[in-house]
Amino acid sequence: MLASLTTEDVTLFALPKAFVGHSAVIQENAISSWVKMGYQVLLLGRDEGIAAAAKRLGVEHVEAVEETELGTPLLSSAFRIARDHVRTKYMGYINADIMLTHGVDLILPSLQGDFVCVGQRTDVDVEVVIDLDDDEACFALVDRVHQEGRLHPVSGIDYFLLPRESKMCMLPDFAVGRPGWDNWFLDRAQRLSLPVIDLTGYMAVIHQNHDYGHIKKQRGSGWDNPETDMNREIAGGRYCDIGSAGYRVNEDGEVFARWSKLARMHYRILKHGECGVFRRMMHGLKVLLYWMRGKVHDDVIVEAAKIDGERFVTRVKRMEEAAR
């Protein structure tokens, strides 16, 4: 069987910050880009301006999300609400500072069950609201990303695409926007032996740089605060990054297995012993099988995708015509 993953089958959900100052600018850009690319969108939270932004951009909004004592939304609540509200086959958590210039249209061979898609971001400074209906503004953005953008290390994970009924929809009470939970999430996926698919070579995503002035009880100028400590305690030192993904996708949508990474994933499951005797035996066999394949077949080199300005603008126009 083949699993089809298309833009029309995906609802993106996010937990924006208050729409004030620079946060309002970059969140407007981000959410507008999701809509323009054709995704269904669900915004969660009660901070200032979220409801108005949802109405203005024509997307769904749910206000009631459980929070920490400092008022930061809990990801456990957000994923549960999203799963209950989403009507598409797939859903995706995405940070509200991420702009998309690409839809998805993938055939995932032998991955028809549960899986997680992730990808690296490109960091760039964006200071103004971008009119995505203006071709010149879109091309100017693309040029800026190409000239000034920097591919972020594999440690940072800003979006997760997964089936609505995924096992990964059940999370502990992590605070959103604090470190630890994203790498725990991938570690958990691997411990459940779910395929992790790296889309960095398939689509570029834009991270609009920002400060951390919104964080309450902040220590220093970064994101350290009591919620950071809470997240790290919940994560318990468990860590995986995008570099551990067992599959990669290139710009043509071709999916390539990374045998050494798959062998390592099954070895970790075997080592930590989170399954019965029979399943441990199966994981042991897969370690051997994938290790041998890795010795025979080198990993296909997949470069990080670049934004195609023409394709970006064309998709915006096509979605506008479809909406009329």
Residues pairing with 249 in the sheet: 255
Q: At residue 213, does pLDDT exceed 70?
A: no
Phi, psi values for residue 122, rounded to 5°:
-110, 125
Contact at 8 Å (CB) between 101 and 314?
no
Collapsed DSSP state (helix, strand, coil) of residue 43: strand
- Which of 21-35, 50-64, 97-111, 135-149 shows the lowest per-residue confidence on average (mean pLDDT)? 97-111
Centroid of chain to Cα 200:
11
Tens of pLDDT, residues 256-286: 999 989 888 888 887 776 667 767 778 778 8
CB neighbours of residue 299 within 10 Å: 13
Residue owning tokens 């959103």 = 176
Token reading at 318 = 């096509």
pLDDT (average), residues 82-97: 97
**27: nearest Cα among 4, 44, 11, 10:** 44
Is 173 contained in some domain? Answer: yes
User: What does the alpha-carbon distance between residue 91 and residue 116 come to, in Å, rounded to a whole number?
Assistant: 10
User: Residue 112 has what pLDDT?
Assistant: 62
Is 156 contained in some domain? Answer: yes
Is 176 contained in some domain? Answer: yes
User: What does the alpha-carbon distance between residue 244 and residue 262 come to, in Å, rounded to a whole number?
Assistant: 8
Is 159 contained in some domain? Answer: yes
Half-sphere exposure of 215 (CA within 13 A, CB side): 20
Tens of pLDDT, residues 150-180: 999 999 999 999 999 999 999 999 999 888 9
User: What does the alpha-carbon distance between residue 301 and residue 108 come to, in Å, rounded to a whole number?
Assistant: 19
Domain count, the chain: 1
Identify which has the larger pLDDT, 88 or 268. 88
275: left (phi over 0), alpha (psi -120 to 50) or beta: beta
Is 273 contained in some domain? Answer: no
DSSP 305: P
Is 287 contained in some domain? Answer: no
Residues pairing with 67 in the sheet: 73
User: What does the alpha-carbon distance between residue 253 and residue 241 come to, in Å, rounded to a whole number?
Assistant: 22
Token reading at 307 = 């934004």
Tens of pLDDT, residues 35-68: 999 999 999 999 999 999 999 999 999 999 999 9
Contact at 8 Å (CB) between 124 and 308?
no
Is 276 contained in some domain? Answer: no
10-195-278 Cα angle (round to 5): 135
**117: nearest Cα among 167, 159, 165, 75:** 159
Q: At residue 185, does pLDDT exceed 60?
A: yes
121-122-127 Cα angle (round to 5): 120
Domain hosting 314: range is 96-258+299-323
Half-sphere exposure of 77 (CA within 13 A, CB side): 15
